[in-house]
Amino acid sequence: MKLYKKEGNIVQILSFPNETAEKSDYLLIEDADAGKALIAQVIDVQFASIPGVLEELLRSLPDGGEIMQGEDFDPLEIAPHITYIQDASLLICKIRATIENGENLSPTSAWLPSRSQSTIKKLSIPKLLKLARINGELPIVLGGTKDASLLTIDASSLDGRLNIITGKKETGKSHLSKLLISSLVGYKATVVVFDLNGEYLSLGMTADGKKNVLYDKIHILTPAQNFKVALKQLNLHVLLEILIHALHLPGTSAREFRRIWQSLKERNMLTLHDLGEAIRNWHCNQHVRDALFSRYYALVNSGFFTDNVAEATLLEECLFRAKEQGGAIIINLRNTSPIDRQIVVEYLLGKLVELLTSWKLKAVFLFAEEAHLYLRETYWDDIVTRMRHFGIFTTFITNQPDTIRENIYRQADNIFLFNFTNEHDLEVVSRAARVDAETVKSIARDLPPHHCLVLGKVVKDFPIVVKVRALDVKTMGETRLFFKDLN
Amino acid sequence: MIEQYTITTTPKYNFPQKPIETALPQRLLELSIHSLRHIQNQQIQLTPQAVAQNGKIDAQLQVPSLNLKPTIIQIKPKTQETLVAAIDTSSIKIGETKTGILIAIRGATIWKQNKRYRYIRLGPFIFHITEENKTEVYNALQRAYLGQQSIQNHQYTPNMTQMPTRLATLLERWLQLATAKTMTNSLILLDGSLTAGTPDTPANVMREILENARKTGNAVLAFSKMTTMRLNGNLITEALPNFAPPFLLELSGLRAKPPLISFGNIYVARLSNGNCAFRLDIDRELPSQEKVEAVEKLVGNDLLVQGYPETLRLAHILCTFTANEVIAMQHFITRRYGLKIINRPDMHKLLFGPFGKGEANT
C-alpha cells in the first residue's frame, strides 16, 4: 500500500490486489523518521484512476457488445501485470488519531507523513482496542469483529450517557438492546424498558423456555393489569402533566381541575368516585365541566387508576428491589392504546424523577423503543438535558431515525448503527456530533444484518463494526404471519 | 525461409488456427529476453506516454504535383460473403536506461468471419536497445524474416530513434506475409501504402507478400490514413468531386521515384457518407475488374465508419498500447529485472518553468 493523497482528515491510499483492505478496516500509517503514526479507517474502496483503463475496457467489447474472440500470444506474460495495475484500488480513509512514541494517542491529523517513506499496514482490532484503551472493569462483550476478535465495551461508558440504537427493520436492534439490558442488569443496574411490542417480556427465559440467571430480576408490569396507580399516590403535578400533555386539557380547565383536586385532598377524598362527583357538582362553566368529564372518563377507562392503594405498589417495589440487586422493569405497552400509553409514560417518567430527586433511586437506564409513539414533544429535550442530571440515562431504539429530533443526535454519546440503505435515513443519523457524515453514509449502507457500527464514547470515537453476539433469550415480538402455518 | 502457420481446413476458409507458427515470435522473444538480461538493477527513466505508436504516413513516395484528371469509379457493394482480414502493429518507447532505450512492439491480425470479428495478437515484446546491440537485434530479426541475403547492406541498420518503428515494421511484414500465405479468396487490408524500396520495406519483401496473396486468390488493399500526395495542388483526399459515395477516384499515371517502387494502383476511396476519404493502394497485378470488385466486396462485407474499414480499425485498436499497459510493462521490467525507476528533471520545465512544455511535446 502507498500513501497517495491527504486532504484535511481524509487520506487516499493506493492498494494493490494482493493487499486486501475493506471498508471499516483500520490502517496504521507509520512514519519512522517522524516517530509518529496515523490511525486511519477505510470508509470507502474505489477503483484507482489508472490511465488507459477506459480504452482497455472499450476495446475488449467492440463486437456488438460481446467480448471479441481471439488468441493472445503473450510470451513475456505481461497480461497479469496489466490486471494487477487495473485492479489497483484507492482506499479512502478517515484519520482517527495520531500515535506518538508508540502509545500516546491524540485525535489530531495536523501532520503529514512521508509519502515515500511511510509504511502502511492493517491495524488489527485487538491492537486498536489496546491502543485506545477500550476496556474497563465492567466488560460487555458486544460480539465479534471482522478479524475474529471480540469487541468488549465498558458498561460504565453507558453510564450517564445518551445512546441511540437505530437501523432498518430486522437488522438486530432489539437484540442488541436485550444484550445491553442483560449486561447492565448483570452489573446490578436498574433498567426501565418501554416495551412497545412485548419483545422484552421473555428476557428472563432461555431460548428453550427455561428460566435464566436473570429470571428473578426481570419485572414485567402491564398497565391496567399488575401496574396500576392510586390517585392518593399521585402528585398533582404528575396528574396535570398527564391531563395537559396526554389528554390535551386546555389551560382554563386545568386551573379548575387544580382547585377540585386541592379541595378533595384537603378532605382526604382522592378517589375516582369522589373525583367524578366533584366535577359533576363543581361550580364552573359548562364547557369546562364537559372538558373535565371527558378527561376523567379517559382516566377511568384506561384501567390504570385505582382507589385500592394495595394494588398500586408494584412499581415502587420493583424499583427498590432492582436498586438492591439490579433488575429490569419492563413496561409492557403491547396492548395499550396510544392515549393510555402516553398516560403510563407520563406517570412513569414523573415517578422516576420524583424517586431520583429524593435519592430513593440512584440512577436508571431507560430503554425507549419507538419513543415518538408515546413521548410528548417537550420530553425529548427534558430527557437529554434535565432528566440526565436526575439520573435517567436513555437509550432510544428506532427504525425511523427521523422521528428522533436533530438535537438528540447532536447530544448522543453513543450510537449503535445497523444497516440503512435509504439516503434520507443516513442523512439524519449523520447529524450526530460524534461521527462524520462520510463514515455513517459509507459504512452503514453496507452493513450486513446483525452487524452494527458502534460510534461514540463506548469505542473512544473509533468507529468499529461488530457482529452482535447471539443471546440465549427466548425470542418475542415476532411478526405474526398469515402464511406461516399453511406449509 | 519462413515457416507457415499450422493450418486446418474449414469448409469455407483456410485461416490460421492455433497453435500459430512461431518462427519470428520465437526469435523476437529470444532477442527480447537476451536484450533485457543486460539491464539488471540499472536505473530507468520513464518516458512520457504521449508517443506516436503506429502513425504511418506515405512520406516515402515523393510524387510531384501533377495535373491529372482522375477517373471516378462508382462502387456497388457486393454482399457475397468474403473474409476480410487486417494487420497492424505498434511500437512504443517505455523508458530509458543509462545505455539505451526500452521499447515494446505488438502486432495484431483481425479477421471478420461469419459476421464475427476474431483476432490473433502477438506481443508485447520488450527490447532493450543500445548502441551496441541495435545492429545485432535488427539483423537477427531480418535474418529470421527475410533470410541471409537481405542483411548484406549494413547501411540499413537504423539509428536508435528509428528502432521502435523499424522493429514494429518487421513484425508487421511478417504478419502480412503469413496472412497472405494462409488465406484464400479473401481481402487483406494493410495499414499504409504498397510503396516499397525503403530500408524497412525492401521491394522484394513487398513483392513476396503480394505474390503469395495472389497465388491463393487474395486481394491486397492498403489504406493510408494520412497522405502527402497532391493533385492539382490539393491533397488528393481533399479535392473530391461532388459524387455520392461509395466511389473510387483512380489516379492513373503516377510513378514513384527510384529507388521507390509502387506495387499498387493508387486511388482515393470515399466509401461511405461523411467527409473522410483515404488513399487506397490496390495490388497493381490484379486485373482492373478484380480491383474494383475487391473494393465492392469490402463495402458489402465490412462495416465502414467514416469510410474506414472496421477490421483495420480494430487491428489498430488491438495493437495500440494503452497507458495502463505501459505502466504494466514498466511494472514487469522493474519487478523482473530489478530496475530502479528514477525521475530525471525535465530541463525544459526546470529552465523555463510554466513556459517549458516538457521534452515530450517539443
Q: Give the model confidence (pLDDT) of B246-288 as tens digits.
A: 888 887 767 777 778 888 888 888 888 877 888 899 998 999 8
Total count of residues recorded for chain B: 362
Q: Mark yes or no for CB contact B324/A70 under 8 Å.
A: no
**Cβ within 8 Å of B, A 44-83:** 50-53, 55-56, 59, 62-63, 68-76, 78, 81-82
Q: Mark yes or no for CB contact B124/A74 under 8 Å.
A: yes
Q: Mark yes or no for CB contact B118/A59 under 8 Å.
A: no
Please work out, in degrees rounded to the nearest 5, the angle formed at the alpha carbon of residue A376 by the alpha carbons of A372 and A378: 120
Q: Among A380, A354, A24, A322, which Cα is nearest to A184's? A: A322
The residues that bridge with B280 in the sheet, in sequence order, are: B223, B267
Q: What residues of B are in contact with residue A18 (Cβ under 8 Å)?
A: none
| pLDDT top residue among A223 and B148 | A223
Give A11: exposed, middle or buried? Use CB within 10 Å, 0-12, 13-18, 19+: buried
Cell numbers standing for residue A90: 484507492
Q: What residues of A are in contact with residue B118 (Cβ under 8 Å)?
A: 68-70
Highest mean pLDDT among A297-301, B196-200, B242-246: A297-301
- Chain A nearest-CA distance from B32, in A, is 9
| pLDDT top residue among B359 and A271 | A271
Give A297: exposed, middle or buried? Use CB within 10 Å, 0-12, 13-18, 19+: exposed
Whole-angstrom distance, CA of residue B312 vs CA of residue B302: 10
CB neighbours of residue A283 within 10 Å:
6
- Chain B nearest-CA distance from A51, in A, is 5
* Minimum mean pLDDT range among A25-39, A113-127, B124-138, B218-232: B218-232
Q: Mark yes or no for CB contact A81/B324 under 8 Å.
A: no
**Which ranges of A430-476 does DSSP label H, i.e. alpha helix?**
437-444
| pLDDT top residue among B68 and A206 | A206
Which residue out of A82, A83, A86, A87 would a mutagenesis test of the B interface target, given it has the greatest number of B Cβ atoms within 10 Å?
A82
Q: What is the ipTM of this complex?
A: 0.76
Q: Mark yes or no for CB contact A70/B317 under 8 Å.
A: no
Q: Is the peptide bond before B199 cis (omega within 30 degrees of 0)?
A: no
Q: What residues of B are in contact with residue A17 (Cβ under 8 Å)?
A: none
The distance in angstroms from the start CA to the end CA of chain B is 43
Where residue A177 falls among pLDDT bands split at 50, 70, 90? Answer: very high
Whole-angstrom distance, CA of residue B88 vs CA of residue B169: 9
Interface residues on B facing A, Cβ-Cβ cutoff 8 A: 18, 20, 22, 25, 29, 32-33, 49, 116-126, 314, 317-318, 320, 322-329, 331-332, 335
Location of C-alpha cell 494493410: B190
Q: Among B253, B351, B248, B120, which Cα is nearest to A69's? A: B120
Condensed to tens digits (0 to 9), the pLDDT of residues A149-175 reads: 899 999 988 988 999 999 888 888 889
Whole-angstrom distance, CA of residue B176 vs CA of residue A42: 52
Cell numbers standing for residue A111: 501532520
Query: Is the four-CA dihedral A56, A58, A62, A64 of positive or negative sign?
Result: positive
Cell numbers standing for residue A446: 453496507
Q: Mark yes or no for CB contact A73/B25 under 8 Å.
A: yes
Contact (CB, 8 A) for A196 and A373: yes
- Chain A nearest-CA distance from B20, in A, is 9
The pLDDT of residue A422 is 82
| Per-residue H/E/C for B270-288 | ECCCCCCCEEEEEECCCCH
Q: What is the mean pLDDT of chain A?
A: 86
Q: Which of B324, B329, B335 sits opposite A86 (nearest CB)?
A: B324
Where residue A487 falls among pLDDT bands split at 50, 70, 90? Answer: low
Q: Among A306, A245, A319, A225, which Cα is nearest to A273's? A: A306
What mean pLDDT is predicted for residues A396-425?
86
Q: What is the DSSP string of A117-154?
A: T-EEEEE-HHHHHHHHT---SSEEEEEE-TTS-EEEEE
The pLDDT of residue B312 is 92
Parallel, antiparallel or unpaired: strands A139-144 and A327-332: unpaired
Q: What is the DSSP string of A192-234?
A: EEEESSSTTTTTTB-TTS-B-TTGGGEEEE-BTTTB-EEGGG-
Q: Is the peptide bond before A107 cis (omega within 30 degrees of 0)?
A: no
Q: Mark yes or no for CB contact A56/B125 under 8 Å.
A: no
Q: Mark yes or no for CB contact B324/A56 under 8 Å.
A: yes
Q: Which of A50, A56, A72 sits opposite B121 (nearest CB)?
A: A72
Whole-angstrom distance, CA of residue B346 vs CA of residue B362: 12
Q: What residues of A are in contact with residue B119 (Cβ under 8 Å)?
A: 68-71
Q: Mark yes or no for CB contact B126/A76 under 8 Å.
A: yes
The distance in angstroms from the start CA to the end CA of chain A is 53
- Chain B nearest-CA distance from A25, in A, is 28
Cell numbers standing for residue A372: 415518538
Whole-angstrom distance, CA of residue A376 vs CA of residue A372: 7
What mean pLDDT is predicted for residues B157-179?
86
Where residue B16 falls among pLDDT bands split at 50, 70, 90? Answer: very low
Total count of residues recorded for chain A: 487
Instruction: Tell whether the model's pLDDT for residue B107 goes beyond 90.
Output: yes
Contact (CB, 8 A) for B57 and B227: yes
Instruction: Tell whether the model's pLDDT for residue A108 goes beyond 80.
Output: yes
What mean pLDDT is predicted for residues A59-64?
66
The pLDDT of residue B265 is 87
Contact (CB, 8 A) for B186 and B83: yes
Whole-angstrom distance, CA of residue B319 vs CA of residue B32: 18
- Chain B nearest-CA distance from A17, in A, is 14
Parallel, antiparallel or unpaired: strands A119-123 and A139-144: unpaired
Q: Mark yes or no for CB contact B118/A73 under 8 Å.
A: no
Q: Which residues contact A402 (CB under 8 A, 6 or more apart)?
A: A424, A425, A428
Condensed to tens digits (0 to 9), the pLDDT of residues A317-368 reads: 888 888 888 999 999 998 888 888 888 988 888 888 888 888 888 899 999 9
Tell me phi and psi for residue B255, to 5 degrees: -135, 140
The pLDDT of residue A378 is 64
Where residue A90 falls among pLDDT bands split at 50, 70, 90? Answer: very high
Q: Among A469, A433, A452, A485, which Cα is nearest to A167's? A: A452
Q: Among A129, A108, A134, A92, which Cα is nearest to A37's? A: A108
Q: Mark yes or no for CB contact B29/A75 under 8 Å.
A: yes
Where residue B62 falls among pLDDT bands split at 50, 70, 90? Answer: very low
Q: Quick one: what percent of chain A has pLDDT higher than 70?
A: 96
Q: Mark yes or no for CB contact A52/B324 under 8 Å.
A: yes
The pLDDT of residue B219 is 94
Where residue B53 falls among pLDDT bands split at 50, 70, 90? Answer: low
Where residue B54 falls among pLDDT bands split at 50, 70, 90? Answer: low
| pLDDT top residue among B100 and B106 | B106
Q: Among A450, A447, A409, which Cα is nearest to A173's? A: A450
Q: What residues of A are in contact with residue B125 (Cβ under 8 Å)?
A: 75-76
The pLDDT of residue B5 is 38
The pLDDT of residue B6 is 37
Cell numbers standing for residue A5: 493523497
Q: Is the peptide bond before B259 cis (omega within 30 degrees of 0)?
A: yes
Residue B31: helix, strand or coil by DSSP? helix
Instruction: Tell whether the model's pLDDT for residue A190 goes beyond 90.
Output: yes
Instruction: Tell whether the model's pLDDT for residue A47 goes beyond 50.
Output: yes
- Chain B nearest-CA distance from A29, in A, is 24
